[in-house]
Amino acid sequence: MPGLLHLTVTKRLLWVGGAAYPLHNVARIYTFVLKPRRREAAVTFARRTALTLLAALAFTVFGTIAGFLSRGDGDFENTIAFVWFATVVALIYYFGDMMSVLTASSHFVLAVESNGQSTALVTGRREQLNPLVHQIAYAIEHPDTELRVQVERLTISNPGNYYFGDTVNMYGGRGNTGVSHG
């Protein structure tokens, strides 16, 4: 079945499909719900729409004024029509982009982070993935333990549309830098 892959622990390696992670480089194993960035998608749509409509209105006002000042010598009506056609096309694109995030599914995933920047994500049923965290941790602590299970391959169209990682809220302090997600 194309949506399934093997997660295998040998004496020194964790295999996730065709990718191998040395067990000594595994920094963290955990499960979480991978959620789409719905609020950000709606805000981005509103901002893009407002800016595009504002630009189209500005072109229309300036085109109308230029047409009036040229006393009909220019072809400003066609330019204004093109601006509004491009505006409608852009708004349709923005709407489709937003809807792709709003209709995206949340996924329960198991994440395996390495000491570097690599992270493996697989999905499956909660009752399968939660115990799998403990089984992998046990296999890391006990090198003679081997493990082989089938999990589901995570397929998402655009990773940028999802929240990855932990949520951190910082209050007070001095000189804090970074990104805070609510």
Give me the DSSP letters along 135-164: HHHHHHHSTT--EEEEEEEP--S-GGGB--
Residues 42 and 91 reside in one and the same domain: yes
**Is 176 part of any domain?**
no
What are the pLDDT digits (tens) for 55-73?
A: 999 999 988 888 777 776 6
List per-block mean pLDDT (blocks of 10 residues) for the chain, which spans 182 residues.
80 88 88 91 96 95 81 75 95 96 90 84 90 91 88 81 62 55 50
Q: In the structure encoding, which two tokens stand for residue 10, read together? A: 């040998």
0.85 cut: is pTM over it?
no
What are the pLDDT digits (tens) for 15-24?
A: 888 888 888 8
**Is 168 part of any domain?**
no
Residue 68, domain extent? 38-102
Residues 116 and 141 reside in one and the same domain: yes
- What pLDDT is recorded for position 53? 97
Alpha-carbon distance of 126 to 132, in angstroms, equals 10
* Structural contact between residues 170 and 182, judged by C-beta atoms closer than 8 angstroms: no
Alpha-carbon distance of 39 to 41, in angstroms, equals 5
**Is 169 part of any domain?**
no
Place of tokens 């493996």: 120
Residues 96 and 42 reside in one and the same domain: yes
Residues 85 and 65 reside in one and the same domain: yes
In the chain, where does DSSP find H-type helix?
38-69, 76-102, 126-141
Contacts of 49 (CB under 8 A, 6+ apart): 91, 94
Residues 48 and 91 reside in one and the same domain: yes
- What pLDDT is recorded for position 177? 56
